[in-house]
Chains A and B, each alone.
Chain A
Amino acid sequence: MGVFQKIKNFSFAKKLRAIFGKKHVKIGIYGPPNVGKTTLANRIARDWSGDTLGPASEIPHETRRAKTKENIIVNDGGASLTVDIVDTPGIATKIDYHDFLSYGLSEKQARRRAKEATEGVIEAIRWLENVDGVILLMDCTQNPFTQVNITIMGNLEARELPVVIAANKIDLDQSSPATLKSAFPQHDVIPISALTGYNIDMLYSTMVDRFHKRKRRAA
């Protein structure tokens, strides 16, 4: 590695944290339904602890209760961060049980899923009070200008919570991380595939850099 590259890679804050930092943070994985939140939570947990949080599914609102995996130590080679990962239910403004019928659920199952999903949305929103930072997961095959993304981002900015945007599903042909980056130019946007693990090391490095312990301010 050349001198200039070493200078470029040197982060004073990172080195200080490596020496002094007691770094244990609670990080919420947020986003709309079906963007891959549980797949990412499972990947993080599996990569660093050999465990998983729960099943992922193509049916929206598979995760209807927040799940936490504690004491995951993420290391980027120079510094590390102890993370409690919170896999939150997808946030939505509408839930129609008819949408679940096309996935083969009976009406009774679909109605129950819809009811539980509404409770999950409320739980996800309430978790915002208890996290130190957020990975906002977006599907980079979809339009990023959704109200859910904007509402979550607005809340994070108002609460001054550190956020990393992960542009998921980069492995799909129709993905467009550039569109997502242009929608949120003031934030770190990391293109990843939670499914294949593509670029996941970049996400870990960014997490260590962004989510160091800091005093959380009230909204």
Chain B
Amino acid sequence: MTGINVNLISQQKLEGLSSQEKIQYILSEIEKGEILVLEKGLTPQEQTQLIEKTMDRVDPNKFIGIEMQGYMSEKTSWLQKILGRIHPPRMTVIGPADKLKTIHKDSSMIKTQVINK
């Protein structure tokens, strides 16, 4: 029986990686066809780096890109900025765009569909 793996990645797993390592890890998993649910998502800068790296790797015959959905991190107040406290990014789901589709997203729910071709 074949299926698609959906892997929950803990905060601890990603915390031990640099931004480049995180992106490399995520992309390599996605290119294998895996869907990842990150307990703590990527920072906005990491998200744009991921999009850049994804665009570098788009291949019309093998890889059309990624589907990624999450919510904005809570805004950091000026006092928290002074204290160096940054709200961590929130739970995020990422997968290959030909296997993961977003059905609905609003301020309280993300609905996705996994496609097993």
Residues on A lying within 8 angstroms of B by beta carbon are 91-97, 111, 114-115, 118-119, 121-122, 125-126, 128, 143, 145-147, 150-151, 153-155, 157-158, 182-183, 186, 219
How many pairs of residues, A versus B, come closer than 8 Å at their CB atoms?
82
Residues from chain A with Cβ under 8 Å of B60 in the complex: 96-97, 111, 114-115
Q: Count chain A CB atoms within 10 A of each CB in B60, B67, B106 and give the residue with the most.
A: B60
Residues from chain A with Cβ under 8 Å of B88 in the complex: none
**Interface assignment of B8: CB less than 8 Å from any CB of chain A:** no
**Interface assignment of B107: CB less than 8 Å from any CB of chain A:** yes
Residues from chain B with Cβ under 8 Å of A219 in the complex: 45
The 9 closest A-B pairs by CB, nearest first: A94-B65, A154-B44, A94-B97, A118-B55, A96-B64, A155-B44, A151-B47, A145-B105, A121-B55
Residue-wise, chain B 91-109 has the 8 Å CB interface mask toward A (1 for contact) of 0000001100000011100
Instruction: Please report whether the interface of chain B is mostly helix, strand, loop or mixed according to DSSP.
Output: mixed
Interface residues on B, range: 20 to 34
Whether A145 lies near B107 (C-beta < 8 A) is yes
Q: Residue on A with the closest CB to B73? A: A154
Q: Count chain A CB atoms within 10 A of each CB in B44, B56, B97, B98 and give the residue with the most.
A: B44
Residues from chain B with Cβ under 8 Å of A96 in the complex: 60, 64-65, 97-98
**Interface assignment of B66: CB less than 8 Å from any CB of chain A:** yes
**Interface assignment of B19: CB less than 8 Å from any CB of chain A:** no
Q: Residue on B with the closest CB to A143? A: B105
Q: Count chain B CB atoms within 10 A of each CB in A150, A153, A183 and give the residue with the most.
A: A150
- Closest Cβ of chain B to A176, distance in Å, is 12
Tell me the residues in window 48-66 of chain B with beta carbons closer than 8 Å to chain A beta carbons: 48, 51-52, 54-56, 58, 60, 64-66
Q: Residue on A with the closest CB to B65? A: A94
Further 7 A-B residue pairs, CB within 8 A, beyond A121-B51, A125-B48: A94-B97, A96-B97, A96-B98, A128-B48, A145-B107, A147-B47, A154-B47
Say yes or no: A114-B52 contact (C-beta < 8 A), given A147-B68, A154-B47: no
Contact of A91 among B51, B71, B97 (CB under 8 A): B51
Residues from chain A with Cβ under 8 Å of B73 in the complex: 154
**Interface assignment of B33: CB less than 8 Å from any CB of chain A:** no
